[in-house]
Amino acid sequence: MFGGKNMKTPLTIEIESSLYQYCIEQGGLVVEEVTMPDDQGIVDTLSCLTKFDGSREWRCYELKVTKADFRSTAKLSFVGHYNYFVLPSKLYEEVKTEIPTGIGVLVYRPYTIEEEMPASGTFMIAKKAAKKELAVPEEALTNRFMASLFREVRKAKQMERGVKYFPTDQLYKELKRRSENQDPFSNERYYERFLEEIASQAINELQEEVAALQHDYEYLRQQQQIRRLPTEPLE
């Protein structure tokens, strides 16, 4: 996972991970950041539930954490049977009169208990979503859903095998991004440490090469001296 539609805030990441767990607990297959066909935008979180009759129910979730983000002119990808805004409680109180008809709202409620939980919080349905027809053909929606699932599996496989399987330019960009965003007073200077270690490694390799050349030079000098010694007289 390096990237996303925009740089995510800690609150966005917290809500996103909690929503992922929430959708799983609802019985859905879930994936994030699914690009839709026909200029329908990108769904923040898409959940697919298989019903008892074998039909599928698609739910789309758009995460917003600020009023500016909520009122952004960016296209909303509400293409599912049920579509929801996912908002912090404070933001919901500020914009609840602006929620379009038929769009539901999940309000994020962070946990306050200390014990370890599978997510940082849960959700309250502040406004129910009305069911509607899909805005894109189900086959196209399924294909995009599967492609996004494969993307996530591929990223997980890469992480399992280690960073050596990531392209060098991608690793460089991520190191540079983290360097730009890190606390200047933090002790975790990974980008600087990486550069320092590369420089130190280069110096060590040069020193080893110089030592090897000196060894070869000394050997050749000794061989030259041996060749210059007078031969012993014949008996």
Residue 226: per-residue pLDDT = 63
Residue with tokens 């699914």: 34
The pLDDT value given to residue 1:
40
pLDDT of residue 136: 92
Which among 101, 31, 103 is positioned nearest to 64, based on CA atoms? 103
Closest CA relative to residue 48, chosen from 29, 61, 26, 33 = 29
| pLDDT the model gives residue 39 | 80
Buried b / exposed e over 50-71, threshold 16 CB at 10 Å, is eeeeeeeebbbbbbbbeeebbe
Q: What pTM did the predictor assign?
A: 0.67
From residue 217, alpha-carbon distances to 11, 204, 228 in Å are 63, 20, 17
| Number of Cα atoms under 13 Å in the Cβ half of residue 137 | 5
pLDDT at 153: 86
In 10-47, which positions are buried (b, 16+ CB within 10 angstroms) versus exposed (e)?
eebebbbebbbbbbeeeebebbbbbebeeebbbbbbbb
Positions of the chain with pLDDT lower than 50, given as ranges:
1-5, 235
Place of tokens 């990237």: 3
CA–CA separation, 144 and 54 (whole Å) = 20
Residue 2 pLDDT: 41
- pLDDT for 17 equals 92
Question: What pLDDT score was predicted for residue 126?
Answer: 95
pLDDT the model gives residue 193: 73
